[in-house]
A and B are shown apart, each in its own frame.
Chain A
Amino acid sequence: MKKITGAAALIIAGAVTLAACSNTPTSTTGSPDQTGSGSSDVKVAFVSQVEGIPYFNGFKTGGERAAADLSITYTQTGPAKADSTEQVKILDGLVSQQYDAIAVSPLDPTSINSSLSAAASAGVKIATSDADAPESERAVFVSQASDEALGSTVMDELAKAMDGTGQFGIVSGSADTATFNNWIAAAQAQQEAEYPDMELVGGIRYTTDTAQALQEAQNLMTAFPDLKGIIAVPSTAIPGVAQAVQNGDAIGRVAVTGFGSPQTSGEFLESGAMTSTVLWDVEDLGYLTVWALNQLVTETPFEATNEVPGLDQPVSYDEATKTLLLGEPTVFTKDNYADYDF
């Protein structure tokens, strides 16, 4: 009897776990009838990596602006925490709701492939934006700035703060996020090519959240007392690493830079715990993505150089890789971060 109750409890527990997983808060920001309800019935959507963080809020602002300009309907949604299986489920849901075009920022480019193929064969135009799934059947990748440019710019910023010499560490996010890995590879390539006197120590530290990033940064500083800089890769690691530098009274001794949004980094740019942060204007990326989705739906081919109404710079298109490139990365410092609200 006791065994049976135990087994039943386990089954219930399993069921609840499953339920809890599928119930992870999904903020569907802007339901179809809310946002940019325009004259045409074109419905486009974007699946973010984590919905609700300032970065993807900025993306949404730009996307909604484009939807309003183009008179189409735009929906943005995504998992509450960076969970690639959850993201696939959200994508499948959107496909069954018959969107005309969907863009995704894949957390894991491999596991999302079959869903992308299924969507494409169901007649949905598929794009990737912000992060790519190169092996997939996506029609276009809307790239913020090339991974190479971002990685090398961060390394240049770090090198500037460390005078091009000394030990540095890298605190990354989850090990299976392709974007992070590409940035890091580019940063390392830049360091090997340009800054031979700098040395990566402690390997790449993968973390899942702020608390862990704080500990890893603290441990790196303990293990390598001569450490002069840390690159904090995801937006969850930024406050953790900067906090570790503040707690350890290492402001001015250990430079921190990374790929943080200006708002996430603002506090630490002010205190000096962060020297700079490198990203792109995410509102423009959201704008370009929605513009590109509309081009796909109307079956207008991309030119080698595209004038996008609403963006200041022309956008280049690479036929071979089917990539739209927003432009060069932006460096945010204490002096200019306040101009951006993402």
Chain B
Amino acid sequence: MSAPAMTSPSTTPSPEAPDPSSAAQRDARLLSILRWIQQLLMPVLLVVEVILFTVLSPHFMTAQNWTNIAINSADLALIAAGLTLIVIMAGIDVSTGFAVGLIGWFVATGMADQRSPILVLLTALLAGAVLGLFNGLLTVRLAIPSIVATLGTSAIFQTLLFALWNSTDVFARPVFPWLSGQSRIAGFPTVALLVIVVYLILHVVLSRTVYGRSVYAIGSNAEAAALTGIKIGRVRLTAYLILGLLIGLAACLYSARIGVVQASSGGELTMLVISSVVVGGTSILGGEGSVLRTLGGLVFIAVLRNGVVLAGVPSLWNGVMIGVVILLAVGINGLVVRVSRRQRRSLT
């Protein structure tokens, strides 16, 4: 349904463009069109999606429904924000889901054992930091490609969760009332405000600080970044630490939201988190992206998962739609990279 909206601008202008004198000029024009599409893809898709579901279901555009969407995707949003930093540096983390499940088990068990909430929250953050740093050290110090390292740790986290869970579902209470979906500030779900604060902070960090510039520099060209004096290892480790802390926080939200921790808990988050980042338009090749794009991708996916049910579409279609959008986003990104490489070659 969204496909026609985006393919038309991409196909129509390029063939009809006036014949330029040189190939480089043509590429420059093509490149600016592609970048333009890249920027507009997500906003356009979001608008189309919201209009479509509003037309299809009278219950979609209601405060209650948007509250549900926000609460249900808050944990996802926190992790996606952290993962964005990693992806901008051309890395990846496929262990996030089971990291949430594993920490969620400790959170649920701690609350069931009547531990003090502040202790449980700190434990969750600490556990998140440890798991994050572990992933970071594997990739930074041992130079294992991040996808391989985190595939390994994902299997380990899953097995640990399975062993700890040991056939007993742990029923969880929220750690703090404000970390549960029921809490409101001025009518807004508190967890949604928490997500917005995290995104604003990370946006400022990425766009206004030395650290943020280092992240982009490493993603565009790690060797060049190292030559300019950026401590690549430290910047990468810090990003994994940030992601870990956010995973710890997300685990508190997750266990409060679901209310139970089982052997498979958290597993479904991994792909959703990666999808949110990629659909948002952060380049999987690194060097380009932002947390605000991720937020766009996340809202797109969360709304899609909600809207298809409300519109009465069989649930298998949301997989198809998310898949198509991922391919579109990655495809356009790949084109940008190819064209800009060709252009650079023809200029030199």
Contacts and interface: CB of A to CB of B under 8 A. Distances in A.
Given A12-B145, A223-B59, A52 B167 contact: yes
Given A52-B167, A205-B315, A216 B148 contact: no
Interface residues of A, number: 45
Nearest to B147: A13
Contacts of B309: 202, 205, 216, 219-220, 223
A234 to B, nearest CB: 11
Contacts of B64: 222
A16 B166 CA distance: 25
Interface string A12-32: 110011011001110100000
A148 interface: no
A10 to B, nearest CB: 8
B268 A81 contact: no
Nearest to A203: B314
Interface string A190-222: 000000000000110110111110111011101
Contacts of B314: 203
A240 to B, nearest CB: 7
A25 B57 CA distance: 43
B162 A25 contact: yes
B260 interface: yes
Contacts of A27: 162
Interface in A161-213: 175, 202-203, 205-206, 208-212
B316 A206 contact: yes
B324 interface: no
Interface in B159-198: 159, 162-163, 165-169, 171, 181-182
Contacts of B264: 81, 208-210, 236
Chain B CB within 10 A, most for which of A23, A80, A220: A80
Nearest to A225: B59
Nearest to B266: A211
A9 interface: yes
A211 B268 contact: yes
B262 A210 contact: yes
A271 B221 CA distance: 57
B310 interface: yes
A38 interface: no
A239 B259 contact: yes
B46 interface: no
Contacts of B246: none
Interface residues of B, number: 46
A205 B318 CA distance: 12
A114 B29 CA distance: 58
Nearest to B155: A20
Contacts of B258: 210-211, 214, 239-240, 243
Nearest to A212: B268
A264 B168 CA distance: 9
Contact of A210 (B72, B145, B152, B260): B260
A9 B147 contact: yes
A224 B99 CA distance: 35
A304 B147 CA distance: 58
Nearest to B152: A16
Contacts of A203: 312, 314
A84 interface: no
B65 interface: yes
B135 interface: no
Contacts of A219: 68, 306, 309-310
Chain A CB within 10 A, most for which of B57, B167, B310, B312: B167
A208 B155 CA distance: 19
A209 B166 contact: no
Contact of A52 (B147, B162, B267): B162
Chain A CB within 10 A, most for which of B258, B269, B305: B258
Nearest to B261: A210
A239 B306 CA distance: 19
A16 B167 contact: no
A199 to B, nearest CB: 13
A138 B72 CA distance: 44
Contacts of B145: 9, 12-13
Contacts of A24: 158
B257 interface: yes
A203 B310 CA distance: 11
A202 B312 contact: yes
Contacts of B181: 247
Nearest to A242: B259
A164 B160 CA distance: 46
A197 B85 CA distance: 54
Contacts of B155: 16, 19-20, 23
Chain A CB within 10 A, most for which of B62, B155, B257, B267: B155
B290 interface: no
A261 to B, nearest CB: 10
Interface in B70-121: 72
Interface of A: 9, 12-13, 16-17, 19-20, 23-25, 27, 50, 52-54, 57, 80-81, 175, 202-203, 205-206, 208-212, 214-216, 218-220, 222-223, 225, 236, 239-240, 243, 246-247, 264, 267
17 contacts: A12-B145, A17-B151, A23-B155, A80-B162, A208-B268, A214-B72, A215-B305, A216-B315, A218-B68, A219-B306, A223-B59, A236-B262, A239-B260, A243-B259, A243-B260, A264-B169, A267-B171
Given A202-B312, A210-B264, 4 more contacts: A20-B155, A211-B269, A215-B305, A222-B59
The 8 closest A-B pairs by CB, nearest first: A219-B309, A20-B155, A9-B145, A223-B310, A25-B162, A243-B259, A239-B260, A52-B167
